[in-house]
Amino acid sequence: MSALSFNFRRKTAMPGQKPLAYRMRPQKIEEIVGQQDLVGPNKIIWRMVEAKRLSSMILYGPPGTGKTSIASAIAGSTHYAFRALNAATDSQKDLQVVAEEAKMSGTVVLLLDEIHRLNKVKQDFLLPHLESGAIILIGATTENPYLNVTPAIRSRTQIFQVQPLSQEDIKVAIRRALSDQENGLGQYQTHLSEEALNHLSQATNGDLRSALNSLELAVLSTKPDDDGVIQITLAVVEETTQRQALVADKDGDAHYDIISALQKSIRGSDVDAALHYAARLIIAGDLQILVRRLIVIAYEDIGLANPNGAQRAVTAIQTAEKLGLPEARIPLANAIIELALSPKSNSAYTAMDAAIAQAGRAKAQAIPNHLRDSHYKGAEKLGHGNEYIYPHDYPNDWVAQQYLPDGIATDRYFQPKGNSTFEKQLKEVNQSLKKQQDDGLK
């Protein structure tokens, strides 16, 4: 399909009409886009709805990934009353209104946004209602609830992480919005080019709310052509998303070419080229792709040659994700420069790949008896753990002992390159221990 065309009677937007993203919220769990590991058939939230055995939960993840949609769909699928409040701005009195409604109707599903900002007074009011099941709490937050939500609330909820939507998920939602005549844009005569569709799905970084609202702005602000059709082109959505398209080539390969060039530039220690390709991703607003790739680079290409640098890069990347663009460029610059100018080593990941390749080729190797679990009755009779030597009972907490299965006892996967002082130390320790082990087992 080269473009999307929807030819219905054009109407004028009503003043004060709610945004498209709000109108297109799913009313049933089957309508949720993405998050299929949670809401797909036979998955945990699907099972709760199917059995009508809801429990309070916290959904955490980036903005626009469907936290509110999941809450709305749960309420719609179970026919419970649904109310939405904000932990930071709504008062205890607002919570009392919800509690009173729960007394009358039986159960209310309460979406509590920014739950990490719930104060103790509101928390203490909510707890007995959660205990009784009168209120099914669905907390939403972009912060890690294990660090930012009080233990009292955490202990009474299940915690689920929601992920940025894929480009295909966002395309599904865009097509649905363009064809929906009741809540969407289906009553407008609209033609959305394939390039514009691709850009909407890429430039919003998995944020469906942003994609739908950018689409609505594009439709409402573009005059129809002579045939009465609203032509939504790449140039139009670049304006409404305020993100330039990465790709000008017809096949769309440049998006992946830039990511590839970024990694190869860092691997090749060309800091200026690395900054150039990162800048192109930043201009396109493709923060999620950039940060994911930088984390891979930190451990794939720098790795043991500069583990502290890799960890500093991850910290900078996490900071960038919290800040969002445009401020994210500041910690990212620190990470990119250090990664590009660090010593390089891929010895850790090639060691893991070598171990995985061997494990995939060979029949499962029997674990030596002395390494097997001995914490159960009858293990001694089977010889499990009987001849295990406890290293902490020996000088330097080490003793010669075979750990690999018999058939691959001489396999060696880790081949350190010694490209830094740290990796040289690892290499020397590894060689010394292997020699002592070989000598001790002769």
pLDDT digits (tens, 9 = 90+) for 272-296: 999 999 998 887 777 888 998 999 9
Q: Where are the alpha helices (DSSP H) in 133-247?
A: 145-148, 151-154, 167-179, 194-203, 208-221, 234-241
Question: What CATH number is given for 3-12+166-241 in this structure?
Answer: 1.10.8.60
Answer whether 27's CB lies under 8 Å from 72's CB.
Answer: yes
Mean local confidence (pLDDT), 59-65: 84
Looking at residue 284, what is its pLDDT?
74
**Rounded mean pLDDT of the chain?**
85
Q: CA dihedral in degrees (15, 19, 23, 26; nearest 10)?
A: -170
Provide the phi-psi class of 19: left if phi over 0, else alpha when psi is between -120 and 50, else beta. Answer: beta
Cα angle 109, 113, 118; round to 5 = 100
- Residues pairing with 109 in the sheet: 82, 136
The CATH number assigned to the domain with range 347-440 reads 1.10.3710.10
Question: How many Å from the N-terminal Cα to the C-terminal Cα in the chain?
Answer: 68
Answer whether residue 95 shows pLDDT above 60: yes
**Average pLDDT of the segment spanning 93-111:** 89
Provide the pLDDT for residue 242.
74
Treating both helix axes as pointing N-terminal to C-terminal, what angle do 167-179 and 208-221 enclose, rounded to 10 degrees? 40
Q: For position 298, what pLDDT does the model report?
A: 94
Q: What's the confidence (pLDDT) of residue 265?
A: 93
Most confident of 58-67, 260-269, 402-411: 260-269
Residue 44 has pLDDT above 50, yes or no: yes
What's the pLDDT score for residue 243? Answer: 63
Confidence of residue 250 (pLDDT cuts 50, 70, 90): very low
pLDDT at 42: 92
Q: What is the mean pLDDT of the segment spanning 169-192?
A: 91
pLDDT score, position 248 = 37
Domain ranges in the chain are 3-12+166-241, 35-161, 270-341, 347-440
User: Rounded distance, CA 293 to CA 281, Å?
Assistant: 11
Q: Which two tokens stand for residue 41?
A: 């058939």
Q: What is the pLDDT of residue 5?
A: 58
Task: Tell me what pLDDT residue 245 has.
Answer: 57
Fold of 35-161: Rossmann fold (3.40.50)
Structure tokens at 153: 């609330």
CB 138 within 8 A of CB 56: yes
Say if residue 300's pLDDT is above 90.
Answer: yes
Amino acid 139 reads G
Cα-based distances in Å from 145 to 91, 113, 115, 153, 339 = 21, 12, 9, 10, 30
Intrachain domains 3-12+166-241 and 347-440 with the same fold: no
Q: How far is residue 182's CA from residue 230's CA, in Å, rounded to a whole number? A: 19
pLDDT surpassing 60 at residue 249: no
Mean pLDDT value of segment 368-374: 85
Give whichever of 248-252, 402-406, 436-440 has the largest mean pLDDT. 402-406
Query: Where does the pLDDT of residue 143 fall: very low under 50, low under 70, confident under 90, or very high at 90 and above?
Result: confident
Phi, psi of 25 (to 5 degrees): -60, 135
